[in-house]
Amino acid sequence: MLGCALCPAKYRNIMLMIFSIFYIWYGSPLFVFAMAAAAVFSYVSGAMISRYRKKNRPQALRLLRITAGIYLVLLFVMKFLGPILTGLRSMGLSFLPDHFIQVPPGFTFLILACISYPADICFNRCDPERSAAQLLGWILHFPKLLCGPFVAKKEFTPGKDSRGVNIYSGLLRFAAGLFKKTVIAAKAYTLFMTVSTLQAGSSVLSAWTGAFAALTALYFELSGYADMAIGLSRMAGYVLPEEFRMPLASRDMKEFTERWSVTLQNWFRTYVPFGNTSVRTVTAILLTGLFYRPSLNGLAWGIILACTALLSKLIPERIPAVKRILLWAALLFSSVFILSPSFADALHYTAMMFFNASSFADALTGSLVFMNLIPAAALCAAVIPVLRPLFRRILNSDAAWIIPPAVILLFVFAVAAAVSGASMPFIFLRSL
């Protein structure tokens, strides 16, 4: 990324494309040519659609439908067919194959980019890119490839800050994201799995503590990677949009959907255009859950939040406390489903929170809270919206000297946690 930042602006995308290909090769060498071919096909289809979008609009729409259909079939085969076959085998259809194609990391967001480019051309949102290398540099941009943030082609431009400012701010953001992922999310995930493996031996309060840990792990896992992607892109001179805008500080479900996985849900609302606003919101939530985990767990995550979004609209605005309680209940239960190893485990854990428990509280409850103060403090910080402006004030004040040593300390802790193997695997690598 430093090489991209230091090279001339007109060659930056080409350098970025080369680095991205090496990154994909390192992660899945067998699929690097397939992913590059998918990106090239998007370039060709965009060029063909641009020829007809003014002279023959129906033909341009037909080409767009064919292009999107090809990518969606490819996405279904690579991402969703395997979990479907596994579920059918568990229902007794043992003659079906139990192993299928393993989707390579970054494949999902690559398909989203490949669909959005010809669609934007067809609907006059952007002009066709003349240089294939420039387009591939955007599609294969590896910091955002694993789980976002997604950025449209017309918005993928170098930032206006100087190189030194870009590198410094990028390093700060990357270190913060790495600490979120390898320390906070890892400790919270360990707490959740500790409670989950106790089965009926856990108390009600321990089960609820584990549910809060699951929410903490999910949020800091995803937002931590988004911070790392934004930081790496900033170091290369590119500005990516925010993916998580303090969603845990939301007052109701409507506000939460506007702050959680912002670019991914915006993609669904823009490129899956059917129904009114409520239908699009529900569809975006359901699809987001399936993109997190293409299984019953991911579908349950989406159904819980989608039903909460519809129910929240029926609650009068004059009682906001009820809306916030409803939101947090949905977040806790949905996080248990998305992180549990299986759907049956999630159902058992949910029952353990109310019925299938040995007692209301036990000695484990206090030890869980005491030994995981870092995730607890991080969750509280994520809920308090005043902390982010406070950090910005410190960054722009005379006390800014404390930031670099603090970031170095966070980076050391994060690297130590990653090397020790204590970090939880990426959700997108573990289940997608």
Q: What is the pLDDT of residues 312-366, one digit of tens each?
A: 888 888 888 899 999 999 999 999 999 988 888 898 888 888 775 456 555 555 5
pLDDT of residue 199: 59
Closest C-alpha to 264, from 238, 228, 290: 290
- Least Cα distance to 329 among 303, 359, 308 occurs for 308
Yes or no: say if 136 and 39 are a contact pair by the CB < 8 Å rule: yes
Q: What is the pLDDT of residues 192-242, one digit of tens each?
A: 888 888 755 567 778 888 898 899 889 998 998 899 888 888 887 788 888
CB 195 within 8 A of CB 207: yes
Alpha helices in 260-295 (DSSP H): 262-271, 277-292
pLDDT attached to residue 338: 92
Say whether pLDDT at 2 is over 90. no
d(CA 376, CA 368): 10
Q: What is the dihedral of CA 122, 123, 125, 128, to 10 degrees?
A: 10
pLDDT of residue 78: 82
- pLDDT at res. 117: 92
Phi/psi at 338 (5° precision): -70, -25
What span, in angstroms and rounded, lies between the C-alpha atoms of 406 and 392?
Answer: 15
Q: Is the pLDDT of residue 382 over 90?
A: no
Averaged over 373-390, what is the pLDDT? 64
Give the C-alpha distances (Å, rounded to integers) separating 83 from 100, 146, 381, 424: 9, 19, 36, 22
Most confident range, picked from 51-60, 68-77, 386-395: 68-77
Chain segment 5-64, per-residue pLDDT in tens: 556 556 666 677 677 777 667 666 677 777 888 888 999 999 999 888 888 888 989 999
DSSP state at residue 79? I
The 3-state DSSP composition of the chain as helix, strand, coil percent (nearest 5) reads: 75, 0, 25
Count of CB atoms situated within 10 Å of the CB of 93: 10
Cβ atoms of 214 and 231 within 8 Å: the answer is no
Q: What percent of the chain has pLDDT over 70?
A: 71
DSSP state of 1: -
Secondary structure (DSSP) of 324-365:
HHHHHHHHHHHHHHHHSSSHHHHHHHHHHTTTS-S-S--HHH
